[in-house]
Chains A and B, each alone.
Chain A
Amino acid sequence: MLAKRIIPCLDVTAGRVVKGINFVGLRDAGDPVEIARRYDDQGADELTFLDITASSDDRDLILHIIESVAAQVFIPFTVGGGVRSVNDVRRLLNAGADKVSINTSAVQNPQLVADASGRYGAQCIVVAIDAKRVVNSETLRWEVYTHGGRKATGIDALEWGRKMQALGAGEILLTSMDRDGTRVGFDIELTRAFSDMLEIPVIASGGVGGLAHLADGVLQGRADAVLAASIFHYGEFTVRQAKEHMAGKGIEVRL
């Protein structure tokens, strides 16, 4: 049967991999191509590159990185950050990306998701949703944030997920802003709400601090894939260790 995926995420800025806490306070974690190769060797199922300061910095740098990765790493990889038009999608795919992740631009122009999906197929369109719990709400709900988590939109996250699926997203990359960088585990309620609601795969993201969290994302959150950054970047755990842990919990993984 289909294996649950483990996806190391590489936040890239100015050609380097970095990791922040709650979207701020960046720390250098190395060369993207070198890190991609290492994860491939460890058995990563996919890779995700997020160009996190793309809105303000030089965009084209990421195209060279993608080309280098595509020539050396033969597993699927997603690239996101600053994707504003179907032409941006085309350039990233032509550089060698398998999927393109759209976040802020989907909120500004939902038609972009429909157009890109219609042109290149749902399989390569990932919609990234940064969701934050709404405090002082009577019911449990989450709000969509954009611009790398800096801007509230007032949009209900679950409703947004449904809309993105309807417009042609092939997959949802769901990040809990409350948990991102905190290492206390995924927002399980958020993950489960999305996974139970949607027909398309959901990637859980934000908050992984240990291997048990990855298994929780699948077993409790019912995620189709789990994404993590810092536990892999600093050599704390290998992807293989993560998979062995998950296999030990009865989760089907590719070993």
Chain B
Amino acid sequence: MKTRSVILLSTLISGFATAQDFPLPQIDYQRLNNGLSVIIVTHREQPVINFDLLIQVGDEIDPPQKTGRSSLMAAVITKATERFSSLELSQKLDYVGSTLEAASSSHTFRLKGDSLLAHVQVLLDIFPEVLLHPTFPVDEIEIERERAITDTKANFDSPHLLASLYLRRLIFSARTPYGRYPSERTIKAITREDLLLVHQQIQAPQGAILVISGDVSPQDGLRWANEMFGRWKESQRSLPKTNEPLVTDKRRLIIVDKPDLTQSTIHIGHSSIRRSDPVYPTLQVLSQIFGGGGFSSRLMKTLRSDGGKTYGVASRYVSMLKAGTFGISLTTRNAETKNCLDLIFSEIDKIRQRGATEEEVDDAKRYLIGSYPMELEAPGQIADRLLYNLSFGLGIDYLRILPQQIGAVTQIQVNQAAKQYIRPDAATIIVVGNAKEIRPLLREYGAPTVIDYQTPLD
């Protein structure tokens, strides 16, 4: 039996909180001379190694007319380097079964690689090479550009995705990064020089974080980090300023007309808190009770278990760096569209007016705290969670603090939050479906704006 202990050397830790009764593997922290933060998660159950690098620059710096630029850079950066052609690179990785991928979110760039311990040398060679010396070959750019364009087209075949894109667009507008999406037009406008510029903008060891997790000792992990990135230097770069998101919350009904659909896909939502807001843990408990908790949630009980109206209904708070959203989503057969909306708004009224019971609050807290270790089982999951937390300015020790915060949430706080953070009068309603069939059913919800589902979102 392996014993797990917690040894935290982090300078990021500010007053380590009381230990919870779940074990975490050994987590070590060091800062390299160039400012790169290195976290080693020693987790030796399987002979696997994960490298996970985060740089705090993301899509929000893309100019609106070139939306998708950071994502395209991330798609191409792993394809070829000064030492390896595209084929050589993929052959080296595929030979040992390693994966390497990069991605861009609204405020981060991530590079992830994994390997069996026996083959880690390959990853040690390639991981820094793709970050520091990519060549962005024109043919690889064109392949990834075409893939990105077809991805935007494929969105039109997914009613849930379409509904969520429209909801974000209406809440944040195209003038704000949170409401902008790549389209064929914006992707075609991106040049190779644009990708080189973004690449230059992510060359910043100061503030970047590398997590090495898996079957590795702290000593080896630190040695690998130094080998890979000890000589990484800050580039001469200037980052454009990003503005606070513009928000428009108001009650409105949008029907996105897709005549071939036999179901309505409904999304209801409004803006909500940013991740740093202290009410975050309370909203996690509230959401669990209202619509986040699967069969335990009120929405699921009313719409699925009792009514058989939907396969699934969920509500969720999504918190980003500068803002967030609250949303409810479900699909139902066309004839039940209005009934589902009625039931959802009735449940909203109930929880706002009467609140949640003490038992519901306790059950939700028990679920959120009890299931937390299941989200931190594998080393890659721990690395993901650490980087998520750190990207929002939360420390390494927040891994332990979140369940404590959930545990401290009270019934009074939940019921106050229900009144304040579920706002039916400010909710945008999106229905993706057959407008001809749905529209007459929804008269009570006001005159809808009807949009053809293939209308470009740029």
Q: Do A and B come from one complex?
A: no
